[in-house]
Structure 1
Amino acid sequence: MSHKIKFSIKGMTCQDCANKIEKELASLNGIEEASVSFVTAQAIVKYNPEAIEVTAIKKVFTRRGYAVTETRGSVTDAFEYKYKETARVFSVGILLLSSWLIHLLTGIPPVITDSMALAAIMIGGYPIASKAIKALIKRELNVDALVAIAASAAIAIGDYTEAGLVIFILLLGEFLESVTLARTTRAIKGLASLIPDTVKLKRGDLEVDVPSSEIKVGDVVVVRSGEHIAIDGVIVKGDATIDQSLITGESIPVERSSGDDVYSGTINKVGAVEIKATKVGRDTTVARIERMITEAQGRKAPVERTVDRFAKYFVPAILILSAIVFLATGDVRRAITVLIVACPCALVLGTPTAVVAAIGAAARKGILIKGGGGFRGSWQDQRCYL
């Protein structure tokens, strides 16, 4: 019998890292399916527990220096705002802008502006150089290696500002990506806020406040006007008007009475009811919706798989092209220009980021999309079924 497990990963630097992990996982005996996403910083693995253990799966990540933890359907925090990275981006940007303005508007010797550009390079280049060195030690080429080579070449010929701009562009792109993904992550986490921290548990003739996480199947919970329903269940006593627009899409609250089913995350607008729990915790409707959205973000659209295959050859191809330009022209600046133009690598990161952001945006509007494949050809659809 197959099992599915989800991991949260920290330490990946680009989609190529994720592709290499995915390829290694797929080669293991007992792995039936593996999907690794750099954008969501998570891996979803379907495996046969009789053929491979979870510890062996984790070793694929830890051998490469990544921190990996098993998750239980919660949204990863890997792309929450990082104050250190934010400060680094703004510091590099301010130093480069100041250097350019001083050079443009004053007669200060170039050594001052060059020193400011070098300071920007040191602040922004350290994490990039560190990741590039680690990749090269593993005999791998990634975007960080490409940026490091381009920046180093620019420094070697004295173009300090250009080297700083290359680093700044990469850092800015990663920062904007993190902002987009953090917003999407928080929107999905907002689903959890629909579940109250405590509920009124019926015990005989008494009502006892208990944490919603302690409710078990078969318990009877009292829900009054204005309160959120924490569990899936059936009404055993009372009548109420329930707003279940989040679950069913119905814009108008519906009347519910004894014998009717109700769902977690919905709101009791009017009335008081006693609900017998049929599903609790991770089995509730809200928990399953959150889990579906999170897993959907990890599923790759066909266009993403195409981009992933392209990314594998992107960095070596750019290095070869730069070498050809140098041999053909004898101009090192033109060769470096090729490296600089290619550095942002927007094609590699843009597609998965757009897919994740779109799924999150749709979820905020009550639209559930089961994976990036749902976007393929959607622009050709001429009908909408409700």
Structure 2
Amino acid sequence: MDVKETRYRVTGMDCAACAAKIETAVSRLPGVARVSVSTTAGMMRVAHAGEAAFLPAMKTQLGRLGYGVFPADGDKLGADDRGRDRDHRHDRDHGQADAHSHEAGDGQGAWWSTRKGMFTIGCGLALGVAYGIGRLYPPVEWWAFLAALAVGLLPVASRALAAARAGTPFSIETLMTIAAIGAVVIGASEEAAAVVFLFLVGERLEGVAAGRARASIRSLATLVPKTAYVERNGAVEEVPAASLSVGATILVRPGDRIAADGEIAEGDSAIDEAPVTGESVPVRKQAGDAVFAGTINADAVLRVRMTAAAADNTIARVVKLVEEAQESKAPTERFIDRFSKYYTPAVLVLGALVAVLPPLVAGASWSEWVYKGLAILLIGCPCALVISTPAAIAAALSAGARRGLLIKGGAILEALGSIDAMVLDKTGTLTEGKPRVTDIIAIGRSEANLLSMAAALETGSSHPLALAILDRAKADKVPVPPASEAFALRGKGVAGKVGGKEIFLGSPAAAAERITLSPEQLRRIAAFNDEGKSVSVLIAAGEPAGIIAMRDEPRADAQSGLAALRAAGVEPVMLTGDNRRTAVTIAKDLGLPMHAEMLPQDKQRIVRELRAAGKKVAKVGDGINDAPALAAADVGIAMGGGTDVALETADAAVLHGRVGDLAAMIELSRRALSNIHQNIAVALGLKAVFLVTTIAGITGLWPAILADTGATVVVTANAMRMLAWQPRAARG
């Protein structure tokens, strides 16, 4: 029977312990070959056979544990789904002690409106009532706190039993249930009730934090308007953006958000890309320029031709890819997951030994040491430890994506922090990827007249050098007269008539076949060539009319971006397939070591040599021609403007083409790693302190549960700080 892999969205997960229970429960179903669950993404991947009967069986299995499950593809848990899910589980779980019914952790409802939220509130109120009754009627105090304990413990114990049946006997709920029942047995019902209440509060805090992490990236989707304006039969009509197809032209008024990825067909306006890219300065765009969905048209009416459907715009693809990235576990996270499988049973054994050995061996008080053993069970709850890594990674991936830094998973995020060498392509990475006119030397006429004639010949051409001349003519606002009898001369240039004069524009070698260039003109051409510039000579009526030099210039932030890399301890190196003279010029301008005239296999060889020398290497390129080198590097980074190539290839992508973003990506990784180390230190440090103080008799059950709940709160809050991360350049 064929095995297929399917993605599912799981509702109700609060922490990594939930993921472990779900993974174990689903793996026990018939036909399941492999299961992978991500708490941070709220997603599950299952390789299984027998699809028709599989989903109902899985829903039943997870329903017993209190989780909801839906196919991830399709409408992504729309409002109708949520209603059906709520109704379905209400009927199924009527009378069940607890169900994770659209928790705050899923971002689909206020925490107090969920069953777990209601149980938490109920337990808190019952605890308060029991305290009051105990003060008014001391003889019934024990029973009052026992009743308050039952309100909170019954749902916890129910989940512990369901988890044990599903293959997870050593769950956090099991530790809590044993500790609470044991406390009642030794007469500490007041503390037991308080401990269970604090545990439920901790769960709710975890759920809220998980929901915030998941919602942080999905909130990007809300930037894209649901409707768009189109012109039909002379009237403007508002239609659902999802109903429009590629090639449709939409009208974008000043102040409107652009409803789809596209290309400006008509108009000239400033585009505020801050909501998508974090770029604070609006970008001026005109006909032919690409625009992103979700950006804001600032000051003029635009007509935009759609290049991607609403479901496939840049933001939608970023959201999907980041959600998938959150499903992949970092090495640290995988280690902690493995560690926690042995950690919880070990805590049970340690608690039992502390409770039993001193009374048996040394004749110590049973009640005193059983109390200490129960406290150790609470100290040992692994919540804070298992959430320490995934929470920080999820927040970092989301923060990066909101600034155009797409990192495909925790493993890549960790690897970026150790990079100490970065190999960068020249064209399109360090440079703009398109030539610009840098020098105009007019002979016997004005620069404007020279540019006007050159632009007339190049009108309609798509050659990069022709586009550079046309862009300069447009920028300088020079008139472009019509050309007649224009034709291209393969490998030489273009010729035609402008204003009745025979005009030729081509390479210096082709021009030298027609006229004699002076020594001074030849010297200037040679100097331009030495600077890595392409040179065109214009001939009018058999006489030299001027020289135009063009070059693919470094990006505006190339110098500062490379300086930021060096400041971060990363050594940049330039590789290019371009000619050595051009490469030397660019490398000299940027202060870079370089290798020129490289074939794809040569670039791969350089990367391997750097790695063999002990370097951790990142390769930055366009994601197509550099595939061998990207694959050979520790991390492959695609530089692009939100294109399919930039999004779908390599391990990471800088979507907005800024060299400075490369250093920002390294900074984000190192900040995330620092955050993870802080979280682990807090989680383990607090446990170690309270373990010692509990055995010494200084602290008891209350501080024990606070050691876990408090650590979980601190760890989660610290991880969520990553959501507000800004690159150092933006901060200062």
* Shorter-normalised TM range: 0.7 to 0.9
Q: Residues 292-349 of structure 1, C-alpha deviation per residue, up to 9 Å, x if partnerless?
A: 2222222222121112112222332222222222331233223222223224642133
Q: 2:393 aligns with which of 355, 366, 376?
A: 355
* 1:169 aligned onto 2:193: no
Note if contact 1:15-1:39 (Cα within 8 Å) is conserved in structure 2.
no
Paired amino acid for 1:348: V
Quote the Cα distance in structure 1 between the aligned partners of 2:382 and 2:190.
16
Quote the offset at 1:370 in angstroms. 2.9
Note if contact 1:74-1:291 (Cα within 8 Å) is conserved in structure 2.
no
Quote the offset at 1:279 in angstroms. 0.3
Which residue number in structure 1 is paired with residue 637 of structure 2? Answer: none
Change in CA separation of 1:120 and 1:373 when aligned onto 2, cut-off 3 Å: farther
Change in CA separation of 1:10 and 1:249 when aligned onto 2, cut-off 3 Å: closer
Q: Residues 208-240 of structure 1, C-alpha deviation per residue, up to 9 Å, x if partnerless?
A: 211111111111111110001111111112222
* 1:65 aligned onto 2:23: no
* 1:130 aligned onto 2:133: no
Which residue number in structure 1 is paired with residue 265 of structure 2? Answer: 236
Q: The residue matched to 1:274 in structure 2 has which SS?
A: strand
Which residue number in structure 1 is paired with residue 245 of structure 2? Answer: 216
Quote the offset at 1:90 in angstroms. 3.7
Please show how residues 120-159 of structure 1 align to structure 2 within 5 Å. Answer: 120-141=148-169, 142-159=171-188
* 1:376 aligned onto 2:414: yes
Paired amino acid for 1:17: K
Q: Residues 279-299 of structure 1, C-alpha deviation per residue, up to 9 Å, x if partnerless?
A: 012210111121122222222
Q: Residues 107-148 of structure 1, C-alpha deviation per residue, up to 9 Å, x if partnerless?
A: x44344334422331221121111111122335311111111
Q: 2:349 aligns with which of 317, 320, 327?
A: 320
Change in CA separation of 1:97 and 1:114 when aligned onto 2, cut-off 3 Å: same
Paired amino acid for 1:42: M
Change in CA separation of 1:247 and 1:336 when aligned onto 2, cut-off 3 Å: closer
Which residue number in structure 2 is paired with residue 304 of structure 1? Answer: 333
Change in CA separation of 1:5 and 1:266 when aligned onto 2, cut-off 3 Å: farther
Please show how residues 260-279 of structure 1 align to structure 2 within 5 Å. Answer: 260-279=289-308
Q: 1:119 aligns with which of 138, 147, 171?
A: 147
Change in CA separation of 1:116 and 1:351 when aligned onto 2, cut-off 3 Å: farther
Quote the Cα distance in structure 1 between the aligned partners of 2:69 and 2:252.
40
Quote the Cα distance in structure 2 between the aligned partners of 1:353 and 1:187.
12
Quote the offset at 1:92 in angstroms. 2.8
Change in CA separation of 1:10 and 1:378 when aligned onto 2, cut-off 3 Å: same
Paired amino acid for 2:36: S
Quote the offset at 1:250 in angstroms. 3.2
Paired amino acid for 1:132: A
Q: 1:17 aligns with which of 15, 21, 36?
A: 21
Paired amino acid for 2:119: R
Paired amino acid for 2:251: V
Note if contact 2:242-2:311 (Cα within 8 Å) is conserved in structure 1.
no
Q: 1:385 aligns with which of 656, 660, 663?
A: 663
Q: Residues 52-80 of structure 1, C-alpha deviation per residue, up to 9 Å, x if partnerless?
A: 45446636733623432112387776523
Quote the Cα distance in structure 1 between the aligned partners of 2:256 and 2:38.
37
Matched pairs, number: 376
Please show how residues 171-210 of structure 1 align to structure 2 within 5 Å. Answer: 171-210=200-239
Q: Residues 150-209 of structure 1, C-alpha deviation per residue, up to 9 Å, x if partnerless?
A: 111111222112212331232122111111122233333322221112211233533221
Quote the Cα distance in structure 1 between the aligned partners of 2:274 and 2:5.
31
Segments of 5+ residues of structure 2 without an aligned counterpart are 78-101, 360-365, 420-567, 571-661, 665-732
Note if contact 2:344-2:382 (Cα within 8 Å) is conserved in structure 1.
no
Quote the offset at 1:355 in angstroms. 3.0
Note if contact 2:225-2:257 (Cα within 8 Å) is conserved in structure 1.
yes
Q: 1:86 aligns with which of 106, 117, 124?
A: 117
Q: Who wins on radius of gyration, i.e. which is larger?
A: 2
Change in CA separation of 1:366 and 1:262 when aligned onto 2, cut-off 3 Å: closer
Q: The residue matched to 2:307 in structure 1 has which SS?
A: strand
Quote the offset at 1:11 in angstroms. 5.7
Quote the Cα distance in structure 1 between the aligned partners of 2:192 and 2:309.
55
Quote the Cα distance in structure 2 between the aligned partners of 1:35 and 1:246.
33
Paired amino acid for 1:92: C
Quote the Cα distance in structure 2 between the aligned partners of 1:372 and 1:303.
9
Paired amino acid for 2:340: A
Could you say which structure has the greater relative contact order, defined with CA pairs below 8 angstroms and 6 or more residues apart?
A: 1
RMSD (Å), alpha carbons: 3.3
Q: 1:283 aligns with which of 312, 321, 334?
A: 312
Note if contact 1:22-1:36 (Cα within 8 Å) is conserved in structure 2.
no
* TM-score normalised by the chain length of structure 1: 0.84
Paired amino acid for 2:19: Q
Quote the Cα distance in structure 2 between the aligned partners of 1:202 and 1:268.
18
Q: The residue matched to 2:408 in structure 1 has which SS?
A: coil
Quote the offset at 1:101 in angstroms. 8.0
Note if contact 1:195-1:229 (Cα within 8 Å) is conserved in structure 2.
yes
Paired amino acid for 1:133: L
Note if contact 1:177-1:353 (Cα within 8 Å) is conserved in structure 2.
no
Q: The residue matched to 1:225 in structure 2 has which SS?
A: coil
Quote the Cα distance in structure 1 between the aligned partners of 2:153 and 2:333.
28
Q: Residues 9-51 of structure 1, C-alpha deviation per residue, up to 9 Å, x if partnerless?
A: 23667232144257669x945x6xx531234431135x6xxx9
* TM-score normalised by the chain length of structure 2: 0.46
Change in CA separation of 1:371 and 1:74 when aligned onto 2, cut-off 3 Å: farther
Change in CA separation of 1:180 and 1:284 when aligned onto 2, cut-off 3 Å: same
**Larger mean Cα displacement after TM superposition, 352-361 or 193-202:** 352-361
Note if contact 2:149-2:196 (Cα within 8 Å) is conserved in structure 1.
yes
Quote the Cα distance in structure 2 between the aligned partners of 1:235 and 1:352.
41
Q: The residue matched to 1:152 in structure 2 has which SS?
A: helix
Quote the Cα distance in structure 2 between the aligned partners of 1:165 and 1:377.
43
Note if contact 2:277-2:402 (Cα within 8 Å) is conserved in structure 1.
no
Segments of 5+ residues of structure 1 without an aligned counterpart are none
Which residue number in structure 2 is paired with residue 41 of structure 1? Answer: 42
Change in CA separation of 1:117 and 1:364 when aligned onto 2, cut-off 3 Å: farther
Q: Residues 68-105 of structure 1, C-alpha deviation per residue, up to 9 Å, x if partnerless?
A: 211238777652333243343244345446656886xx
User: Equivalent pairs: percent with the same residue?
Assistant: 33
